[in-house]
Amino acid sequence: MNFGNILNEIESTDPEVFEKVSQRRHIFKSFGTKVALAALPFAIGSMFKKAYGQTTGSIIDVLNFALTLEYLEAAFYEQGSANPALFPTSAAASAIATIGQHETAHVNFLKSAILASGGTPVSSPVFDFTAGGTFPDVFVSYQTFLAVAQTFEDTGVRAYKGQAGNLISNNDVLTAALNIHSVEARHAAHIRQMRKANGFGDVKPWITNNDSGIGAVVQASYDGEENTLQAGIQIKDINGKAISMSDASEAFDEPLSKDQILAIVAPFIV
Amino acid sequence: MKKETDLNVTNPEVLSTSLSRRNFLAFAGIGVLGTALVSSCKRDSGVMPDGTIDLGGGDIGILNYAYALEQLEAAFYTKVASSFYAGASADEISRLTEIRNHEIAHREFFKNALGSSAIPDLEVDFSSIDFNSRNSVLATAKAFEDLGVSAYNGAGKLIVNGDYLLLAGKIVSVEARHAAYIRDIISNGSFANSEVVDSNGLELSRDPNAVLSIAGTFLKSKISAKNLPTS
């Protein structure tokens, strides 16, 4: 897996990405090849060592996909935290700093895991958090910043959830991914509370139907969350209990596929 | 089979329950063979001579384990929402009522999914909780939610069937949202502090024995995880 592969996948959903990244693409083509892989020292000493022999290419692909998303989040919070004026209170700045530290820790952890599994960590893309001008004031307006943060966190939860099945053969990697997944959900819940407390959106810590509380621009990150049918079992009013459509949708978070996630993040990649 | 048909005629709820279970098993790729397997393993789950409830083995055992935890959570929030603690804000009443509904949804989902393989209803022991005290209720809620997240995180690797794993994933992130909310209304900003997230940014996992020893203090029923998978 190299970053060129991720770009190829983005290209299938965002035809313009080829032009946007053509220069970088060339660089990535010479990176992450089999030669580069073979040149890597055999990494030892981590919890993934014993899984080395079982770590398939597809698992490393998943880890690199996750790494790309963590790069996105880590860079986003780093740039946000660089402007203290963005935050109305020290509690807000502190919460964002905590979340940012977790995302940076995820980046470092995933890089180590990929190396220990015999893979090559992808490089960080260059990000444009205005998404080509969609969020021009993302690091100036607290409201816009939190809207993008909420979308990233809720999307991240869906991304990890969508990949769990691809990790089922490797207990260590699966557990690590699950242990990141629930942290992203905690982040999402807190950001949603921050938005509500500031009157930016009538949202709860959990996702109601497919409502973002933000607007159509982020709808792709919420489509499908309205599902109330789980494994063929209708959750609404289940067994005569007073479980509303909203309750039923909130009670289960829904996954997104890698392609869906890549299409969502493509506008943020230069 | 005839018996089931008879029941269906006289009790529409049984019809919908058995249909749901059939759908679930078909969805999970188990089908007829799996149904036979579940039946043949039935002796592994159920009530032992001393009254201990055995969760059973394999994926069914893990689903029963989740069902047990959801029973505990649902019972707790049902009691909380039946008469709120003194000084509960309107927001707290709304959110805690929603959490109750989520946990009931989870409980009923597992009950229907497991069908005849489901463990019985558990008897809870909430004698240590003061339901009129905000501190007592929220401290218990925090403990239950953090415990639930760590339980699902630890159970993922024990699941063989990818569809079950996805279902666990769909639930655990909602439990994590609950946990973050409860933590924040106890102390704003504690949604993911070092009690639950390590220096790598990873949340805790707990294995079933560790989880059940904590959960057991809130249960009259005794639960055995001896037949659950360990890897």
A158-204 residue pLDDT tens: 999 999 999 999 999 999 999 999 999 999 999 999 999 999 999 99
The stretches in chain A having pLDDT less than 50 are: 1-8, 10-54
- Give percent of chain B above pLDDT 90: 78
Q: Is residue B7 part of a domain?
A: no
| Residue numbers of A between 189 and 218 with CB closer than 8 Å to B | 189-190, 193, 204-206
Minimum CA–CA partner of B203 in chain A: A179
> Are residues A184 and B169 in contact, defined by beta-carbon separation less than 8 angstroms?
no
Q: Is residue B45 part of a domain?
A: no
Question: Which chain A residues contact residue B188 at CB under 8 A?
Answer: 91
Question: What CATH number is attached to the domain comprising B21?
Answer: 1.20.1260.10
Minimum CA–CA partner of A174 in chain B: B157
Domains: count for chain A:
1
Nearest-CA neighbor of A237 among B68, B108, B75, B95?
B108
Q: Which of A91, A186, A231 sits opposite B27 (nearest CB)?
A: A231
Q: What is the pLDDT of residues B145-182, one digit of tens each?
A: 999 999 999 999 999 999 999 999 999 999 999 999 99
In this predicted structure, the answer to whether residue B43 has a pLDDT above a threshold of 70 is no
| Spatial distance between the Cα atoms of A37 and A35, rounded to a whole number of angstroms | 5
Minimum CA–CA partner of A177 in chain B: B202
Which residues, in sequence order, are CB contacts of B46 under 8 Å at separation 6+? B53, B54, B56, B119
Q: Is residue A225 part of a domain?
A: no
In A131-213, where does DSSP find H-type helix?
A: 142-163, 171-197
Q: Which domain holds residue A103?
A: 3-206+253-268
In this predicted structure, the answer to whether residue B84 has a pLDDT above a threshold of 90 is yes
The most confident of A2-6, B40-44, B86-90, by mean pLDDT? B86-90
Minimum CA–CA partner of A154 in chain B: B173
- Which of B202, B207, B231 has the highest number of chain A CBs within 10 A, making it the mutation to test binding with A? B202
DSSP state of B54: E
DSSP state of B192: T
More confident residue, A264 or B21: A264
Q: Which domain holds residue B90?
A: 14-34+50-120+131-223
ipTM score assigned to the predicted complex: 0.84
Question: What CATH number is attached to the domain comprising A131?
Answer: 1.20.1260
Q: Judging by DSSP bridges, how do beta strands B223-224 and B53-54 pair with one another?
A: parallel
Q: Is residue B5 part of a domain?
A: no
Closest CA of chain A from B214, distance in Å: 20
pLDDT of residue B38: 44
Lowest mean pLDDT across A93-97, A141-145, B44-48, B192-196: B44-48
pLDDT of residue A55: 53
* A67 and B CB contact within 8 Å: no
Domains: count for chain B:
1
Q: Is residue A219 part of a domain?
A: no
In this predicted structure, the answer to whether residue B195 has a pLDDT above a threshold of 50 is yes
pTM beyond 0.95, yes or no: no
- Which of B165, B181, B200, B231 has the highest number of chain A CBs within 10 A, making it the mutation to test binding with A? B200
Average of per-residue pLDDT values in chain B = 86
The secondary element (H helix, E strand) that includes residue B223 is strand B223-224
